[in-house]
Every structure is written in structure tokens, then in C-alpha cells.
Amino acid sequence: MSTPYPTQSLDSSQYFDTFGDLLGRPWRGGLRLRDHKHLSSGNAIRPFPSGATALAIPLEQGRSRARPCVEPGQRVLKGEVIGVGDERNLWVHASSSGIVKAIAPVTVADRDAPVQAVHIATDGRDEWIARPTPGQPRTLAELADFSMRMGLAGLGGAGFPTGVKLAGAGLTDFLLINGAECEPFITCDDALMRERADMIVRAADFLADLLGAGRTLIGVEGNKPEAVRAVKQSITRAGSRLKVRRLPERYPAGGQPMLIRALCGRRLAPGQLPAAIGVQVLNVASLHALGRAVFAGEPLINRILTLTGSCAHPGNIEAPIGLAVRDLARFAGAETTDIHVGGPMMGRALDDARAVIGKTTGCLIYGARDWLPQPEPAGDCIRCNRCVDVCPMALQPMSLYAAVQDGQHRALKTLNLDACIECGACSLSCPARLPLRDSFRQGKRDLQS
């Protein structure tokens, strides 16, 4: 069995980097982590085999909610609209052809509560709806509307609609492409850059032109040399002005404030959107999906995700949105119990393998107990200051934790809880095993209630 993911009992010098700016790096704190990326990075992206199966395609994505426009018994084709949105809510499309069986709730792997979904019994034909030759959007406003109609959501984080982000863009100095993929185990963005760099570069140039961006930069951690090579070769072939920048191999290098600070030297204030400081940020998978929509007329109905951990066939899979996790487990040769969805730092345990993948489901770790640290009883804070040292946002996690426990809402605001990016670095570094990150999530919910 492989060496487990590092736990707090390990010598912190093996994976911590707490010197931050003292070493001339672009941002403070963070962690050095064993990445376990070799488990899934050795093979090419594989398509999930087409065939008769069941899909439950969520009508909700983040705060976006579409209105179903199909009925049970109706036959739908791949790419057909099954949920209508508007300027704030994404449209939803069928991931394959088949018969609509129901409009009913479903559990999505990386969401807290069930959401409404269109349940489809696929017919195994994977038959596309007729796709007219796409007319490329000529203005940013047209692209924003087009993105909503094509169901384009951010694929690297909270799933924020790409069209809403673009609609709010003002004067743009920098277009930043996030290729960090800093969480351990996850390699889907790495695979995408290695195999489909041409589309990423083409989409970056197209978007930069519409934004009027002064500079376009893609940030990639140094542990992805093949991806960097592929992107640079595509840049040369296309004559692109995109520039590749190396990011420190330090979690959370892909966090939006860290990325902006590292690539263009600007600071994002708590609660501030990148557009306010002349920056637009897209994850590489989000940009690739934008390219496929613009240049091939394909709505966002598939995503690439990493299957890893204890499975016979690890790797990166291009799977239809709405596919059940248990079907992916069978494909990977894994058990349908003890599954972790997402990365080890920001993901969660999955209780029900009948849950389906959504647009933000980027990784499934099988046999999670063999790979990830398990919860332990919490002790008392020993004032060691490790959580402060590793916090990339320069917060005071131990003070925030105390404020959450005591229900001190005013103190949470004073201590800038809203600046917490929930990266989990503090929790992993805590020798007392305090559930710091989880308490901050609860604190944010308390402030919103």
C-alpha cells in the first residue's frame, strides 16, 4: 500500500513552508504536501463508454437554478436544452440521448442538499441534436449571454456561471488562467493541458481579444513539466501572446487571491471581485469548455474528473454530467463505499454512491481511509501559532475559532472571516486536531442566517 497522505503526526518540516515572503515568494504561508498525483497521471484521458444507463442531470449549479422544459416520456437528444435559464441562471442540457423518466430530486456528489434533476434513461445511442455552425460572439455582452445558454460554469471551484463573471468585467489589464491544480491526488487539469492545449490557447486568445486584456498569463505549478511543454508548443504554433508562469509548488497556489498576487502582483481585498482590480480569472477546464462551446457548438455536458486511490484503473475520465458515482466506481474497478469527493484538503466524504457528478465534481478518491487522515478527537489549543504561520490570507485562525464557538458575530466580522478561502491549511497544521476549517464554514453560515 502506498504511503498515506501526511497527517499532523508527521514531522511538519516534511511538508510545511511557513516562511512566506521572507523567502521572496509572492504570498505568505501555505503547505508543502505529498501530492500522490502519479497514481492517476500516467494514462491518457479516457471517455466513459457510451451505453444504456441512467443519468440524473442537476438543474441547479451553485446558486444557479434552471426551469425544466421537458416532461416525463419525452425523448431528448444529446446537447438538447432540458432546463431554461436567464441572465443569472445557467441553461441545462442533456448529457446523452434517451427518455425522460422523471423530474425529481437527486443527491449531487459535492453538494450539501439534494437538488431537482432531469432523470434520463439513456438509449445507448448517444445521439446528438443537430448543431448549427456556431456564430462566434463578437462582443463581451454576446459572449456572456452565449455562455449562459451553453451552461458554462466554473469547473475549478464553486461553479460560478462564466457568463455572469464576464458580464461584470470592466477594464481588464490581466486575463489569468489558473492551471495550478494544487490539491493532492487531482490531475484532471494537468491531463487537459497535456492533451488539449491547442483549444486552451485558442480560447485564451479569443477571450483576451473580447476583454481587451493587456496581458494573458497562465500559472502552472512546477510539478507539471509535460503540461508546461504542451502549452508552450501550442503557443508557438498559434503565435499566441499567452505567457506561461511557474507557480510555487505550495498549497494553495491555485487559490484566487494567491494566483492574482503571484501572477500580477495585485492584492484582492476581502469581498472584492477580481474585476474590481482589472483582473479576470478562469480555470483551464472552464476556458477549455468555453472554447468547445464557441468553436464547436458544444454545451457543457461532460467534464473530466480524476479517479484515484484504491482502484484497479485510476486515471482521468471524461464523463457525462449526471452519471452516478457508483457507475464510475465500477468503471474504475473500485468499491462503492469509502469514497471521498474532491481533493483531500477541500473535499468531503461521500455517503451515498448513488449520488451523481455535477459540473464541479473534479475528483473521486476510492478507499479514502487508506489515503487520507481520519478525524481524531480534538484537544485544546496550545497556542503554537502554526495555523497563523500557514494561513495564506494572514488571518488569526485560533481567534476566529474561539469567536465561532462563542457565537461572537461582531468579532467574526472584525477578524475578517469573509477573507477565509476555506483551504484547510490551518486544520491540517493543528497539533490539537481542532476542526478549524469546518468551524469557519459554520461561522459563515451563521453570519448569513
Tens digit of pLDDT for each residue in 10-57?
232 332 233 233 233 567 889 999 999 999 998 999 999 987 789 999
- Domain co-membership, 156 together with 284: yes
State the first-to-last Cα distance of the chain, in angstroms, to the nearest integer.
Answer: 45
Please provide residue 221's backbone torsions phi and psi, each rounded to the nearest 5 degrees: -65, 155
- Looking at residue 5, its pLDDT comes to 42
Q: At which of 231, 266, 296 does a domain end?
A: 296
- Is 2 within a domain? no
What whole-number percentage of the chain has pLDDT above 70? Answer: 94
Specify whether 164 is located in the same domain as 178. yes
Q: Does residue 344 sit within a domain?
A: yes
Beta strands in 198-300 (DSSP E): 215-221, 243-247, 279-283
Q: What is the pLDDT of residue 26?
A: 62
Cα–chain-centroid distance for residue 26?
23
- Match 489549543 to its residue by C-alpha cell: 381
pLDDT at residue 15, as a whole number: 28
pLDDT of residue 3: 37
pLDDT value at position 11? 30
Same domain, 165 and 260: yes
Q: Rounded to whole angstroms, how far apart are CA atoms 278 and 437?
A: 30
**What pLDDT is stored for residue 16 in this prediction?**
28
- 170 and 90 assigned to the same domain: no
pLDDT (0 to 100) of residue 36: 96
Query: Average pLDDT, stretch 361-369?
Result: 97
- Indicate if the pLDDT at residue 295 is higher than 50: yes
Interatomic CA distance for residues 290 and 151, integer angstroms: 10
| Final residue belonging to a domain, choices 370, 388, 419 | 370
Domain annotation covers residue 397: yes
Query: Among 3-17, 57-71, 360-374, 401-415, where is mean pLDDT lowest?
Result: 3-17
Considering the domain boundaries, does residue 137 fall inside one?
A: yes
294 phi and psi angles, rounded to 5 deg: -70, -45
Residue 247 and residue 221 in contact, taking contact as beta carbons nearer than 8 Å = yes
The answer on 151 and 287 residing in a single domain is yes
Among left, alpha and beta (phi > 0; psi -120 to 50; other), residue 108 is beta
pLDDT, averaged across the chain: 91
Work out the widest C-alpha separation in the chain, in whole angstroms.
64
Q: What is the C-alpha separation between 208 and 283, in angstroms, rounded?
A: 14
Please report whether residue 265 resides in a domain: yes
Q: Is the dihedral of CA 209, 211, 217, 219 positive or negative?
A: negative
* CA 302/CA 79 separation, integer angstroms: 10
C-alpha cell at 270: 476581502
pLDDT value for 8 = 32
Indicate if 114 and 145 belong to the same structural domain.
Answer: no
- Asked if residue 124 and residue 78 are part of one domain, the reply reads yes
Mean pLDDT of 267-278: 91
CATH number at residue 171: 3.40.50.11540
> 158-162, 316-320, 369-373: which has the highest mean pLDDT?
316-320
Q: Is residue 233 located within the same domain as residue 265?
A: yes
Q: What is the pLDDT of residue 25?
A: 52
Q: Is 29 part of any domain?
A: no
Q: Is the pLDDT of residue 275 over 90?
A: yes
Q: Taking Cα atoms as reference points, which of 13, 46, 16 lies closest to residue 30?
A: 16
Residue holding cell 457525462? 320
C-beta of residue 360 within 8 angstroms of C-beta of residue 331: no
- Closest listed residue to residue 322, CA positions, set 145, 36, 109: 109
Domain that residue 433 falls in: 376-448
Q: For residue 2, what pLDDT is reported?
A: 38
Mean pLDDT score, 317-333: 97
Q: Is pLDDT of 256 > 90?
A: yes
If you average pLDDT over residues 194-209, what whole number do you get? 98
Q: Assess whether 325 and 400 both reside in one domain.
A: no
Q: What pLDDT was estimated at residue 193? A: 98
pLDDT of residue 449: 78
**In which band, very low, low, confident or very high, does the pLDDT at 63 lie, cut at 50, 70 and 90?**
confident
Q: Exposure pattern of 124-150 as b/e (b: 16+ CB <10 Å)? A: eebbeeeeeeeeebeebeebbbbbbbb
At residue 310 the predicted structure's pLDDT band, cuts being 50, 70 and 90, is very high
Q: What is the mean pLDDT of residues 340-360?
A: 95
What one-letter code names the amino acid at 255?
G
Pairing of strands 279-283, 54-58: unpaired
So what's the pLDDT on residue 24? 39
Give the number of other Cβ atoms within 10 Å of residue 1's Cβ: 7
- H-assigned helices in 123-253: 140-149, 162-167, 188-195, 197-211, 225-238
Find how far residue 399's CA is from the centre of its chain.
Answer: 29
Mean pLDDT score, 160-176: 94
- pLDDT at 134 (0 to 100): 64
Consult the annotation and say whether 264 binds a ligand: no
Residue 448 — very low, low, confident or very high, per pLDDT cuts 50/70/90? confident
Distance of CA 413 to the CA centre of its chain: 27
Arithmetic mean of pLDDT, 157-167: 91
The angle formed by the CA atoms of residues 256, 260 and 341, to the nearest 5 degrees, is 20
Which residues face 305 on adjacent strands?
317
Nearest to 372 by CA among 43, 30, 2: 2
Q: Are residues 181 and 279 located together in one domain of the fold?
A: yes
| Inside any domain, residue 310 | yes
Q: Is 381 annotated as a binding residue?
A: yes
Same domain, 287 and 312: no
Domain end (from 296, 320, 339): 296
The pLDDT score that the predictor gives to residue 321 is: 98
225-248 pLDDT tens trace:
999 999 999 999 999 999 999 998
Q: Does 420 count as an annotated binding residue? A: yes
How many domains would you assign to the chain? 3
Cell readout for 125 is 445511442
Q: How many CA atoms lie within 13 A of 17 on its CB side?
A: 21
- Asked if residue 335 is part of any domain, the answer here is yes
Closest CA to 247 of 325, 297, 180: 180
188 is in an annotated binding site: no
**How far apart are the C-alpha atoms of 345 and 372, rounded to whole Å?**
9
C-alpha cell at 59: 438543474
Same domain, yes or no: 121 and 147? no
